[in-house]
Structure formats: C-alpha cells, structure tokens
Structure 1
Amino acid sequence: MSSPDNKQKTGKKHSPKVATILSILFAGLGQLYNRRYIKGISLIVIEIAFLLTALQSLNYGIWGLRTLGTIAGTDHSIRLLVIGVLSLITIIIVAALYVFNVYDARKQAKKIQNGWKPLKLKDTIRVAYDNTFPYLMTFPGLLLMVFVVIFPLIFSVLLAFTNYNLFNSPPRNLVDWVGFDNFVELVTVPIWQDTFISVFAWTIVWTVVATTLQIALGLFLAVLVNDPRVKFKKIIRTILILPWAVPAFVTILIFAAMFNDEFGAINRDIIIPLIGGDGLPWLSDPLYSRVAIIMIQTWLGFPFVFALFTGVLQSISKDWYEAADVDGGSRWQKFREITFPHVMFATAPLLIMQYAQNFNNFNIIYLFNEGGPPVRGQNAGGTDILISWVYKLTFDTNNYAMAAVISIIMGLLVSGFAFYQFRKTRSFKEEGEI
C-alpha cells in the first residue's frame, strides 16, 4: 500500500498546465489525463462527430454569410444568410463548450494536485446529477430561446446592412452587403427623412398621450370607486371592467365603423345634430384620426389599469388615512402623500410595460384605418407609428432592409427606456435592498 506521502507526491506531479494544453489540443484529452475517463471519452466522441459531420456545413454557412452568394439565379442570398446565422450560432455554442472543456480540465487538475481523489462511478453520477439538474431543466427553454428569439434577432439586424428590397430579390438577383448605407439614407434622403421624423414624432406623442390618459382614467376611477361613501362597489367594478372582456379587435372594428365619415354614428347622431355640416373627417384628416385613435386606446386600456389600481388601493392600511385625518390632512394631501406614492411603487413596472406595449401597438393602428389617411410626400400614413410603418415596408413595398433598420431603432428605444425606468423604480433590487 502506498503511504499518504506517496499519494501527495503523486498529486504534486499532476500538472494543470499539461491538462490545459491537452484539452486545448483536443477536447477530452485533458480529462483523460485527469483520469476522468467517461467524461474524456464522451468529449472526444462529440468532437470527432462534430468534425466529421458539421465542419463542412459550417464552412459553407460562413462562406454564404460572408458573400451572400456569387452566382445570380443559382445562389439564394437570403437562404445563405439564414444558414450563415445558424452556423454562427452553432460556432458560438461549440466554442463555449470547448472553453468549458478547457476550464473543467484545468480545474480538476488543480484539485488532483492538491490531493483530491476522484469519486467512484456511482458517486460521480449522483454528484453530476445534483449539480447539473437546474441546467438540464432550463436547457429546453434555452434552446427554444436561441431559435425563437436570438436567431430572428440576429437575422433582422444583419438584414439591415443589406440592400434586400423589391429590386434585389433572390434568386433572380443577389443581395449585397451595403454597410450603413440604409441608416444614412433614412436621415438624408428627403422622403425617408420626412417620413421618419413625422412617424417617429407621432409614435412618441401617441405612446405618451394614449398611455398616460388610460393610466390617469384608471387611477381616477379606482380612487373614486374605492371611496367608502360609494355604494354597490362590486357592480360598478364589474361594469368598468366589461370593456376588457370584449376582444380588442372587435371593439376597434366597431369604433372604426362608428367614426366613419359618411355613415358613422359619431357624425350622424352626435356631431351633425350639434354643429351641423357634414360632420368631422375622422378617417380622412390625420389630426382627427389621431384624436380618435387616442380616445379608442384610452377606452381599451383603462379597465386593466383600473383593476390593477383597485387591488393595490385595497391593500393600503386605513390607519394611514386615520393618522392623516388626525393631523388635519386634506383629501388632496392624503392622495398625494399616501395613495399616489403607494400605488406607483407597487405598479410602476407594469405601468412601464404599458408604455412599451403602446409604443408597438400595431392592432389599433392597422384595424382602425390601416395607418391612414395618406400624407403627401411621405411613404407612411398619417396615423402610422413605427411598427405599422415597418409592416407596410415589409408586406406592401417589400423594402425589407429599411424595415429592418427601423426595427433596430425601435428595439433600442424600447429596451433603453424600459431598462432605465426599471432601474429607477428599483425593480432590479433585492427585497432586502429596498
């Protein structure tokens, strides 16, 4: 039998540097050097299988991503772009596994050098299962996210740097990389510049005004119904939540008919009897169309906010209001110092998402009047917001590259705003840090 001193000397001879070099040369060799035979053989088999089956495909994918094809009519640029993005994602995943292989070999070699003895096979399987269980459970979701979120995101970003449009559509024509030309055209070419400024400004106004109105109306009604003097609270709450129960697209289509310039109930039964004439041009004038859409969104959005605020208001302790009464606080002071801060603190993340949702609220814009009416000198309608403009560029004019450019700008705006506001509202802090 070997003495503990001999075991310690054997461990000292075990070199992490050697294990690292071997694992860099070929995945699994470092594990074999560490006498982790099952793991080492598994990694070797995986790398051999990868080199034999996927290396040529990945090389073709990277070639396609770099060139987007060389022979018009034969090479399909968009198909090559898709294969190239998938190859790029695969390479990143394989590189991450290879780095893990090197890190694992070096880490285990250091433990062996310090006198650690490998566990028996049964104990190794148990420890490995305990340590990897959370990763095994999250792996399907991660894999789904890669192909449902990350892949389309990378594809759309890369598309913004090409000239993919109606006149450069494969397989008849090849798509080329054009760098930042699309971004430059968006802010320099008159028709693109005017349209972008107009649509972007209206998108901001629409988001701020419509969302603020629905939040303000929901808060006002919630505070009103929560007043102790109001009777039949359950019936009133049920009535106020009813607009939420009706599918939004049904409500929008009904309102579109009601706001029709010629036969709509708003003009025929309300506007004309009051002011005469032919009524207001709700669908043919951009200003009136925008006012109508804001009112409709306020109607659609306030029930959710009302229900949200109603639940929060009932959680506020009555002792706070009684203490305020003792101090002689007015109704406005109690609302400003107690009700409003408590409600905003509890619901701020959800309210922020209301702004982000309305920023990309395609349904109401398209279903009401398809982003119209037309505007002279622009390739977007008077009520088009960025998301509906992207839709038209994609499906009506087939200008995919410019649609991708605008999508990138939208994504940066929404994510930047949401991240900043979440930080400000302390949504990312732990409970003990608040």
Structure 2
Amino acid sequence: MLLSETKSAPRLLTSYLIMGGTQLTKRHWVKGSVLLVLQLLFIAYLPQLVVTLKGLISLGDVAQVRSGFNVTTGDNSIFMLVEGVIALVYLFLFLCTYIFNVRDAHQCINCNLNIRGQIKAIYDDKFAFIILSPAFLASVAFIIMPIVITVLVSFTNYASPNHIPPKNLVDWVGFKNFFTLFELKIWSGTFSGIALWTIEWAVSATVLTCGFGFILALALDNRNIRGKKVWRVIFILPYAIPAFVTLLIFRLLLNGIGPVNSLLNHWGFDSVAFLSDPVIAKITVVAVSVWVGAPYFMLLISGALTNISQDLYEASEVDGANKFQQFWEITLPMVLHQVAPSLVMTFSLNFNNFGAIFLLTEGGPINPDYRFAGHTDILITWIYKLTLDFQQYQI
C-alpha cells in the first residue's frame, strides 16, 4: 500500500505542474490531451492576460492627442475595462479547469479503452455538463459579464463632458458616485422620488389590471349574460393588438390637440392635460396599462373560475351565504391561489416596464426638481435618459 502511494505521488505532482499529465500516464488520452491543450493555450495567452489585467487596474495612461487634423490615438478606458472583465472570466474558467484537473488526477485509474471508447465514456459520464455548457457560456457572456461591467462602471467617473473615451480617459473613483447620489439633494431627491413612484406605479398597475380583469371574467361567467363569445372577442382585442401600437395610439389620442381633447372642446368642455399635468399623466399611464393588460388576466381568471366546483357554491347557499360572502370566501381565495405567480410576474414586469412609460409620456411632464427626469419617469426610463441622452454612465 505504501509502495503504491509512493509511486502515485510523482504522477499526482505531474498534474499539479502539467494539466492532464496524470491522465496521460494512465492512458486517458482524450481527457489528458484536452487538459494539456487548454494549459498550452493559457500559457500562450498569459502575457496578453497580464497586460489586460494591468489595463483593468489603470484604465489607461495615454489620452488621445489632437494636433490640427492629426489625431494620435490614446487608450480607450472602457474598452480596457471590458477586456479586463473578459480576462477575469477567462482566468476564473481556467482556474475551475485546473481544479477539475487536480481532482480528476486523484481519482484517475488506468484506462484500457481505445480513443473511441474513451469519448463515449466521457459523453455518458458528463452528458449533463456537455449539454449545459453552451447555455452556461451564453449566460456568462450575455448576463453575468454585462452585470459585472455595469457595476464596475459605477465605480468610475465615466460621464460627459470630461470623461468620455476615446478623447478622455476614465478613472476609478471608488464610492464617490454613491455618495453623490445619496448626499447631493438634487440627486437624492430625484432618486427617492423616482423610486417611490416606481413602486407606486408597479403596485397600482398590477392590482388594478388584475382587478379589472377579474371584473371582466366574473361578467363573462355570469349565467345571465348573453353573447358571451362576442363579448369575449371584444374584451380580448386590446391584448391582441401589439402593446407598443396601443401605447402610440393612446399618445396620439390624448395629447393636447388630439382627437379626445378636440371632441371635448366640440362639446364645450376645456381640454384635459392627459400627458402634461403631473397627476393626470400618472393616472393616464396606469389607466392605459390596465387597458393593455386586463384581457390577459380576464383569460387567466376565466380559466381559474372553471376549476372551482359548483358544489362549493351550492353548499354555501344551503348554509345561508349570500353572493358577496360566496365571492369573498370561495371565489377570491381560490382564484388568487392560482394567479399569484402571474401577479408576481406582472409586478416584476411593471417595475421595469420601459415601453409603457416611454412610449406614452417619455417620462414627462418635466419636473424642475428632478435631475434628468420627469414626473412619470420610473427607474428604468431614468437610467435610459442618464446613459443614452445625457451620457452619465457612472450613475
């Protein structure tokens, strides 16, 4: 036993220095070759990796220089930041591969399979890993990396007009932006006001949409209603039309000189500032959101109502329950139990519902007390304006 452990120790030491070394000595040709190639590629890229990581730390040292029509290209700080994050991800994945190499070396035994048999064995043993790898890499590239880059940008001074690459360099500023956001009144007031309205908007739009859809579903479920199929088609039309088309139509209908105000003027009433009065504009965006989303909940709740046994209602009538008590004690709890996940999903959607706000009001009307934001802006539309319109990327 001691002799066997003594002989295996150099082989294990080989895998610490040369990835796949132990696997190759035990005739795991496929696995060992792949690990060895990955290490060689890492070594080949190592000098560039060091330079890239240094660039992530410094974010560039040479600014762009312009002399007449001649422009001397300098360092692009944001490109260096992105490349640095990619390098960190690459380094992390290599370290994971190295750890796998070491663990596999401890468990490795002599292999008597040919290359085709080894490939089949790896496929059978690592099937889940092989199938999930593309999705994992896509998640890293398109979800994790953008989030990391966005978080890192918040620790820089990447903003117009003095720190926009490639003309100017960007520097690390630590938590300065966060202190600015919460300490300066103009920024803290904007953030707190928009955050509060975002919650109010998400809650009211979700509850009222579900409530109105509930009313429509109950109306269609009533036995005394005739032509249910016709009414169902009419009610579903707002949901059948693309939401962005509906929002743009309402924007045309409700603006100051739109058809609705023209009709009100024709009847002798004053125009209503649907989109330019702060309070009315907020009510308008909620009402339009209810119009767009209520048919979805109508269909969902109609399906939930069909799952409620009529025996429950008959038993409650025997016990003397009236219609309101039946609704409150039977219909409402059982429907909410089934639509609760959809309510949570709708709340999350409304919390970041860029289109509902931007296509209808563009965040307006203007609020002079806010920084780069209007009365109906929610957090996502404010971020859009900060970055795309005003180039305040650090916030």
The answer to whether 1:95 aligns with 2:95 is yes
Return the match for 2:253 from 258, 272, 279: 258
> Equivalents in 2 of 1:18, 1:341: separation in Å?
68
Cα deviation for residue 123 of structure 1 reads 4.5
Return the match for 2:188 from 193, 196, 204: 193
The answer to whether 1:70 aligns with 2:61 is yes
Aligned residues: 383
The structure-2 alpha-carbon separation of the partners of 1:285 and 1:272, relative to structure 1 and needing over 3 Å to count, comes to farther
The answer to whether 1:346 aligns with 2:338 is yes
Which position in structure 1 is the counterpart of 2:348?
356
The answer to whether 1:240 aligns with 2:235 is yes
Which position in structure 2 is the counterpart of 1:56?
47
Which position in structure 2 is the counterpart of 1:132?
126
The structure-2 alpha-carbon separation of the partners of 1:172 and 1:147, relative to structure 1 and needing over 3 Å to count, comes to same
Counterpart code for 1:217: F
SS at structure 2 position matched to 1:328: coil
The answer to whether 1:120 aligns with 2:120 is no
Query: Aligned ranges for residues 385-404 of structure 1 at < 5 Å?
Result: 385-402=378-395
- Does the CA-based 8 Å contact 1:162-1:401 persist in structure 2? yes
- Does the CA-based 8 Å contact 1:240-1:303 persist in structure 2? yes
The structure-2 alpha-carbon separation of the partners of 1:35 and 1:273, relative to structure 1 and needing over 3 Å to count, comes to same
Counterpart code for 1:127: A
Which position in structure 2 is the counterpart of 1:337?
329
Cα deviation for residue 119 of structure 1 reads 4.7
Cα deviation for residue 101 of structure 1 reads 1.0
Which position in structure 1 is the counterpart of 2:222?
227
> Equivalents in 2 of 1:375, 1:386: separation in Å?
15
> Equivalents in 2 of 1:245, 1:280: separation in Å?
29
Return the match for 2:316 from 291, 315, 324: 324
- Normalised by the length of structure 2, the TM-score is 0.90
Q: 1:35-80: CA deviations, max 9, x gaps?
A: 434322331222113212x212221221111110011111110110
> Equivalents in 2 of 1:366, 1:102: separation in Å?
53
Counterpart code for 1:382: H
Cα deviation for residue 347 of structure 1 reads 2.1
Cα deviation for residue 17 of structure 1 reads 5.7
- Does the CA-based 8 Å contact 1:16-1:107 persist in structure 2? no
Counterpart code for 1:133: F
- Does the CA-based 8 Å contact 1:68-1:80 persist in structure 2? yes
Q: 1:160-216: CA deviations, max 9, x gaps?
A: 111001120112211001111111111111211111121111111111111110011
Tell me which moved more, 87-96 or 220-229: 220-229
- Normalised by the length of structure 1, the TM-score is 0.82
> Equivalents in 1 of 2:375, 2:173: separation in Å?
30
The answer to whether 1:30 aligns with 2:25 is no
Which position in structure 2 is the counterpart of 1:42?
34
> Equivalents in 2 of 1:105, 1:271: separation in Å?
83
Which position in structure 1 is the counterpart of 2:105?
105
Name structure 1 gaps, 5 residues minimum. Answer: 1-8, 403-434
The structure-2 alpha-carbon separation of the partners of 1:377 and 1:13, relative to structure 1 and needing over 3 Å to count, comes to closer
Name structure 2 gaps, 5 residues minimum. Answer: 65-73
Which position in structure 1 is the counterpart of 2:135?
141
Cα deviation for residue 227 of structure 1 reads 2.6
- Does the CA-based 8 Å contact 1:272-1:279 persist in structure 2? no
Counterpart code for 1:90: Y
The structure-2 alpha-carbon separation of the partners of 1:395 and 1:38, relative to structure 1 and needing over 3 Å to count, comes to closer
- Does the CA-based 8 Å contact 2:123-2:130 persist in structure 1? no
- Does the CA-based 8 Å contact 1:30-1:40 persist in structure 2? yes
Cα deviation for residue 106 of structure 1 reads 1.5
Q: 1:255-306: CA deviations, max 9, x gaps?
A: 1122222x233333247747x3x32222222111111111111111111111
> Equivalents in 1 of 2:30, 2:225: separation in Å?
73
- Does the CA-based 8 Å contact 1:34-1:105 persist in structure 2? no
Which position in structure 2 is the counterpart of 1:377?
369
The structure-2 alpha-carbon separation of the partners of 1:260 and 1:55, relative to structure 1 and needing over 3 Å to count, comes to same
Cα deviation for residue 16 of structure 1 reads 6.8
Cα deviation for residue 19 of structure 1 reads 5.1
> Equivalents in 1 of 2:214, 2:8: separation in Å?
64
> Equivalents in 2 of 1:250, 1:183: separation in Å?
38
Cα deviation for residue 338 of structure 1 reads 2.6
Counterpart code for 1:104: D
> Equivalents in 2 of 1:105, 1:227: separation in Å?
70
Tell me which moved more, 119-128 or 210-219: 119-128
> Equivalents in 2 of 1:401, 1:139: separation in Å?
33
Counterpart code for 2:352: N
Which position in structure 2 is the counterpart of 1:410?
none
The structure-2 alpha-carbon separation of the partners of 1:215 and 1:385, relative to structure 1 and needing over 3 Å to count, comes to same
Which position in structure 2 is the counterpart of 1:175?
170
The structure-2 alpha-carbon separation of the partners of 1:232 and 1:128, relative to structure 1 and needing over 3 Å to count, comes to same
Counterpart code for 1:155: I
Return the match for 2:278 from 281, 286, 296: 286
